[in-house]
Structure 1
Amino acid sequence: MPFLISPVLTAGTLAERPQPTLPADGRLVLRPWEAGDAAAVYEVFQDPVMHQWHARAAASVAEVGGWIHAWQQAWQEEREAHWAVADAESGVLLGRVALRELRLADGTAEVAYWTVPAARGRGVAVRATNALTHWALDETGFHRLELLHAVRNEASCRVASRTGFALEGTKLRAALQPDGWHDMHLHARVGSRTPRP
């Protein structure tokens, strides 16, 4: 049965090129993850705030090394795209941004982020999310990006609002977290590119 529409993005859009390093405002850089980042990520996941909003804990640096390898492979498999957020001058890790739930044919993905404790309240998540959103919508041609966060996670809601992700509604009991089921705010941004015929 033939399709009546062309894919928004074709297979190979990501995998046929190296994952880019993206500049961000405020002397930040979004770069592909490296094996040497494992110890720093492990430390972040010892933070109680991370345990509050994430379903995953890190038991060892070696385990986190496996995560980083999976994040690298996800680019080649066009399932997800993960970046480390770092200080452009010192290289110090400040956070992570990612596109999850990639659907190239539909041109959609879900934005995710976290920051290290010392970077919170400094606009790191906002600047990194803006840089990723620009790359995805304006440079690469994604059509729609979604951003989900627990309703009670007010810091994530502020990031979504400050980066232009409009609140579309609430998904009831949509995410199971360590303390039970959470309602989730759904935000979204849509690109301005004209669809291909």
Structure 2
Amino acid sequence: MRSRSRLSTPPAIPAGALAAHPQPVLAAPDDIVLRPWEPSDAAVFLAAYQDPAIQQWHTRQPASEADVNDWFGQYRRSWEQEEGASWAVTRSGDQMLGRIALGSLNLDDGVAECGYWVLPTARGAGVAPRALAAVTAWALAEAGFHRLHLSHSTRNEASCRVAIKAGFPLEGTKRSEAIHSDGRHDMHLHARIRGDS
């Protein structure tokens, strides 16, 4: 658990509140189930990063199944240390469709960042918006977060559509914020706060 300095206001989410429970399994329409990663997912996870679109927008990439299993271990520790959460997006808990994550958790302010990708075979079917909506519903209600945000390249129109469909309005553009394989990109910032309709 991270050490905390003294706050003049109470934390939005008390330290230990998330880690006191196992990372939840979340359900979304059309038999979509978000669950923690399992060792048996490693081969499909590694294969996902051979997809050109995932490579284009996600510059950190595993090189082997051993790397993937290291990542899965980091995901477990991130949950235990209340620093992040990563889910396999699946059909009925079995067929892997993609990944969704919460990172940069700030429990004091109740703020977290979202990220996601979907396998090529699952694109265009509304998988990512449903998964993002499921994580959002849990995070802004049961988990106690107040604000979730996400960023994507201004050239990544598919990610922009996902954010809008899941109720994350565009807040602005962060100029030259991220480096991709073809250079620096401006990034769109989307966010949703508790109470948004």
TM-score, scaled to structure 2: 0.94
Unaligned runs of 5+ in 1: none
- 1:160 aligns with one of 163, 176, 194: 163
Give CA deviations for 1:15-66 in whole Å, capped at 9, x if unaligned: 1111110111111000011111110100100111111101122221111111
Q: Which residue of 2 aligns with 1:33?
A: 37
Give CA deviations for 1:103-128 in whole Å, capped at 9, x if unaligned: 01110000111011100111000100
Q: Please give the alpha-carbon distance, in whole angstroms, between the structure 2 residues aligned to 1:2 and 1:127.
A: 38
- 2:183 aligns with one of 146, 156, 180: 180
Q: Which residue of 2 aligns with 1:121?
A: 124
Q: Which residue of 2 aligns with 1:55?
A: 59
Given residue 133 of structure 1, which amino acid in structure 2 is its aligned partner?
Answer: T
- Residue 78 to residue 2, structure 1, CA distance change in 2 (3 Å): closer
Q: Please give the alpha-carbon distance, in whole angstroms, between the structure 2 residues aligned to 1:17 and 1:59.
A: 32
Given residue 64 of structure 1, which amino acid in structure 2 is its aligned partner?
Answer: V
Q: Please give the alpha-carbon distance, in whole angstroms, between the structure 1 residues aligned to 2:190 and 2:149.
A: 6
| 8 Å contact from structure 2 (residues 18, 143) kept in 1 | no
Return the offset for 1:189.
0.4
Q: Please give the alpha-carbon distance, in whole angstroms, between the structure 2 residues aligned to 1:2 and 1:115.
A: 40
Q: Which residue of 1 aligns with 2:102?
A: 99
Q: Which residue of 2 aligns with 1:69?
A: 73
Q: Are residues 1:22 and 2:23 paired?
A: no
Q: Please give the alpha-carbon distance, in whole angstroms, between the structure 2 residues aligned to 1:142 and 1:2.
A: 20
Q: Please give the alpha-carbon distance, in whole angstroms, between the structure 2 residues aligned to 1:71 and 1:42.
A: 15
Q: Please give the alpha-carbon distance, in whole angstroms, between the structure 1 residues aligned to 2:192 and 2:18.
A: 20
Matches within 5 A, 1:182-197: 182-192=185-195
- 2:8 aligns with one of 4, 26, 29: 4
SS at match of 2:141: helix
Give CA deviations for 1:64-87 in whole Å, capped at 9, x if unaligned: 111111111110011111111100
Unaligned runs of 5+ in 2: none
Given residue 160 of structure 1, which amino acid in structure 2 is its aligned partner?
Answer: A
Given residue 194 of structure 2, which amino acid in structure 1 is its aligned partner?
Answer: G
Query: Structure 1 residue runs of 4+, over 4 Å off?
Result: none
Given residue 104 of structure 1, which amino acid in structure 2 is its aligned partner?
Answer: L
Cα RMSD of the aligned pairs, angstroms, is 1.5
